[in-house]
């Protein structure tokens, strides 16, 4: 600086800095940060739980996690005798603590490593989510009670998959309240409802707790973070609803796949808008309302074009699955 002053600042030639643009590599921590932002945007709160836990608590979950737990040689207490092989137990304790503090609705998540010792000890980055309680949703002058369930967990993980560009995933039931989550036929996690034994162990009374756990190491390997622009449709679409009753054991994925197949070439999208079980629905059945969006890239469709396609979809439902149109 002193040399520049003596030499004269005005005599020093000016030049633009050399900027070399390059494609950045998205690291795992960037993806994890994006997932956390998604979950916070969905109304969840991040928690941090202990990496040490107890065998009795793991056994109470009934999810066979204790078999792969790594034991501590000199544990400080019985509650810290193994490295956690799952985040679900710690999240359950966080839920119980909040419920004991008179919280009506608890929705928490954690992204952390679990420790598995099946063949040799290893760590695995995992996402865990836990929900419990009932929240009030305000609509106009009234309020609607929304109780946590497995469907809420399904919506959360579907949103995460959508943001990560993951499309080929599926849910399959295993037992009464356990649902496996798979991507391209590879299991990546599960959703479950806490058993009565687990709730007693956590001292949670008169509340149901639902938990989700997926391996982020496996999930991120299927992520497709590239984005492709799709122009907005030039012509408006027309929505037709179908309300029907079907058996509980029928997979909705098969039903939606059939609708999309039979509704071509005009059926653009199919979505479930209502789900109902009650006095009007026979035992072992459920009522659904499905919205079918018909559209064309070439013109605005007329009723004469939509009616045959929609009738074909309804007939396929009746013939293939024996549903009753309401």
| pLDDT at residue 87, as a whole number | 95
Q: How far is it, in rounded angstroms, from Cα 70 to Cα 83?
A: 5
Which is more confident, 75 or 215? Answer: 215
User: Residues 54-80: what's their mean pLDDT?
Assistant: 82
Percent share of the chain, pLDDT over 70: 96
Q: Considering only 47-51, 97-101, 121-125, 133-137, which range has the smallest mean pLDDT?
A: 133-137
Q: 266 by DSSP, 3-state: which?
A: coil
Q: Cis peptide before 195, with omega less than 30 degrees from 0?
A: no
Q: How far is it, in rounded angstroms, from Cα 204 to Cα 193?
A: 13
| pLDDT at residue 119, as a whole number | 73
Q: What 8-state DSSP symbol labels residue 235?
A: S
Reported as a pLDDT band with limits 50, 70 and 90, residue 213 is very high
Q: How far is it, in rounded angstroms, from Cα 129 to Cα 195?
A: 16
Assess whether pLDDT exceeds 60 at residue 25.
no
Q: Convert the pLDDT of each residue in 268-312 to its tens digit.
A: 999 888 888 877 888 888 888 999 999 998 999 998 999 998 999
Assess whether pLDDT exceeds 90 at residue 98.
yes
- Nearest CA to 321 among 240, 245, 241, 268? 245
Structure tokens at 119: 């063949």
128-165 burial code (b ≥16 CB/10 A, e <16): bbbbbbebeeeeeeeeeeeebebebbbebbeebbebbe
Reported as a pLDDT band with limits 50, 70 and 90, residue 26 is low
Structure tokens at 317: 């439902």
Please report the DSSP string for 239-263 in residue order: EEEEEEEEETTS-HHHHHHHHHHHT
User: Residues 226-249: what's their mean pLDDT?
Assistant: 87
- Nearest CA to 129 among 216, 241, 225? 216
Q: Considering only 63-67, 198-202, 315-319, which range has the smallest mean pLDDT?
A: 63-67
Percent share of the chain, pLDDT over 90: 48
Q: What mean pLDDT, rounded, does the chain reach?
A: 88
Reported as a pLDDT band with limits 50, 70 and 90, residue 141 is low
Rounded to two decimals, the pTM is 0.77
- Beta strand 178-183 with 238-247 is unpaired
Assess whether pLDDT exceeds 60 at residue 82.
yes
């Amino acid at each position: 600086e002193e040399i520049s002053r003596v030499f004269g600042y005005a005599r020093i030639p000016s030049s633009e800095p050399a900027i070399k643009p390059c494609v950045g590599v998205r690291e795992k921590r960037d993806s994890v940060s994006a997932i956390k932002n998604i979950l916070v945007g969905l109304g969840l709160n991040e928690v941090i739980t202990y990496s040490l836990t107890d065998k009795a608590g793991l056994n109470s979950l009934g999810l066979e996690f204790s078999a792969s737990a790594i034991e501590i040689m000199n544990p400080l207490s019985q509650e810290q005798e193994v490295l956690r092989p799952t985040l679900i137990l710690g999240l359950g304790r966080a839920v119980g603590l909040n419920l004991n503090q008179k919280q009506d609705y608890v929705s928490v998540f954690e992204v952390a490593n679990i420790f598995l010792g099946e063949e040799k000890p290893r760590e695995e980055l995992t996402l865990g989510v836990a929900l419990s309680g009932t929240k009030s949703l305000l609509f106009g002058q009234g309020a609607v009670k929304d109780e946590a369930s497995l469907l809420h967990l399904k919506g959360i993980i579907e949103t995460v998959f959508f943001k990560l560009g993951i499309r080929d995933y599926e849910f399959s039931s295993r037992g009464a309240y356990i649902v496996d989550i798979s991507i391209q036929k590879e299991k990546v996690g599960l959703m479950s409802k806490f058993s009565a034994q687990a709730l007693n162990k956590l001292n949670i009374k008169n509340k149901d707790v639902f938990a989700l756990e997926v391996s982020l190491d496996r999930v991120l390997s299927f992520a497709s973070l590239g984005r492709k622009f799709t122009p907005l449709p030039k012509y408006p679409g027309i929505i037709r609803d179908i309300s029907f009753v079907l058996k509980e054991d029928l997979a909705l994925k098969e039903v939606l796949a059939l609708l999309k197949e039979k509704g071509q070439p005009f059926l653009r999208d199919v979505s479930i808008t209502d789900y109902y079980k009650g006095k009007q629905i026979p035992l072992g059945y459920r009522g659904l309302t499905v919205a079918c969006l018909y559209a064309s890239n070439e013109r605005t469709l007329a009723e004469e074009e939509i009616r045959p396609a929609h009738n074909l979809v309804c007939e396929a439902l009746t013939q293939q699955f024996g549903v009753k149109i309401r």
